[in-house]
Amino acid sequence: MPVNSLTLCAPAKLNLFLHIIGRRPDGYHQLQTLFQLLDYGDELTFTLNQGPGVVLTCSQPALANADNLVIRAAEALAAFSGQIFNVQIHLNKRLPLGGGIGGGSSDAATTLLALNHLYRLQVCEADLLRLAASLGADVPVFVKGQTAWADGIGERLTPMPLPERWYLVVFAHEHVATPLLFAHPQLTRDTPASTISPALAESGHNDFETLVRSLYPAIDRAFQACQPYGQARLTGTGACLFLTLPNESAASDLLNRFRLDHPELSVFLAKGVNNSPALRRLRQELN
């Protein structure tokens, strides 16, 4: 196969709300959430070569290991398709680890999409979504590539276009232990189920927030730091939280003020988008 190269964004996501409505007999939690895709994320470059296999490099070298979801996604697609991949993958890691903004999940989804495209495998979306679900509950939304309402364990997706607002994302340099939170006896698991409604983007809540703030003082301090600027919300199980802004000008002003007032926190701006920048780029490649 001739050498070819493709660079794609692996976009971040926010959970505009996250309700836990119950627990299944197999131990998985039933959720309702609204995934908002962002125009900011990690960046992956895929270069086809003559071998040997899948080689991952990373801007954070410690992440270039066999447990990385990029490698696991490539292995899953290879097993499904029967294709042998000889590809160099470089991951430019821009999203914080354990931030609740989907970094690893998005990297995995982008890997599935890129290899399916570069090797012309023609694996259909339904099969890609099944592979994605086997890698993690948040991976399918990035394969689908649309801002969406999610039910079940997060895998049942209903596209839901939203106004393209701006977000200030705040990271408190904590790594939240997600399995610990799901198992914690103080976690609220009985929020009433809701019908699909975009209004919950404003009125919903995150059932993990109270528990996370009690267990991780640095995240609670980040919430307090955001209080003068608006109502911050936790995304996923944390550790990132976000403030919603009406436009880019307001977002840029807040970014500058926040960096001056709170240099101990990491912050970035992103625009909410209804369609994944990775899928937009792939469509351009096809045209």
Written as one string, the DSSP assignment of 247-270 is SHHHHHHHHHHHHHH-TTSEEEEE
How, if at all, do strands 54-58 and 87-92 pair? parallel
Average pLDDT in the chain: 94
Identity of the amino acid at 265 = L
Q: How confident is the model at residue 6 (pLDDT cuts 50, 70, 90)?
A: very high
Q: How confident is the model at residue 4 (pLDDT cuts 50, 70, 90)?
A: confident
* Active-site choice (42, 138, 144, 207): 138
What confidence tens digit (pLDDT) does each residue in 63-92 have? 999 999 999 999 999 999 999 999 999 999
* Active-site choice (13, 39, 144, 207): 13
Whole-number pLDDT of residue 193: 93
Whole-number pLDDT of residue 2: 44
Q: Is 138 marked active-site?
A: yes
Over range 180-203, report the average pLDDT: 92
Whole-number pLDDT of residue 3: 45
Over range 55-63, report the average pLDDT: 97
Q: Which H or E run includes 108?
A: helix 103-118
The closest alpha carbon to 154, from 263, 13, 255, belongs to 13
Q: Which H or E run includes 22?
A: strand 5-23
Cβ contacts of 126 within 8 Å, gap of 6 or more: none
**Phi, psi dihedrals of residue 262, rounded to the nearest 5°:** -140, 70
Whole-number pLDDT of residue 1: 41
Quote the number of domains for the chain. 1
Rounded CA separation 20/17 (Å): 10
Rounded CA separation 173/264 (Å): 9
Q: How confident is the model at residue 50 (pLDDT cuts 50, 70, 90)?
A: confident
What percent of the chain is modeled with pLDDT above 70?
Answer: 99
Q: Which residue segment(s) compose the domain that 97 sits in?
A: 1-287
Rounded CA separation 131/89 (Å): 19
Whole-number pLDDT of residue 51: 77
pTM, two decimal places: 0.95
Q: What CATH number is given to the structural domain containing 247?
A: 3.30.230.10
Rounded CA separation 210/214 (Å): 6
Q: Is 13 marked active-site?
A: yes
Over range 20-47, report the average pLDDT: 94
Q: Give the distance between the most distant pair of CA atoms in the chain.
A: 56
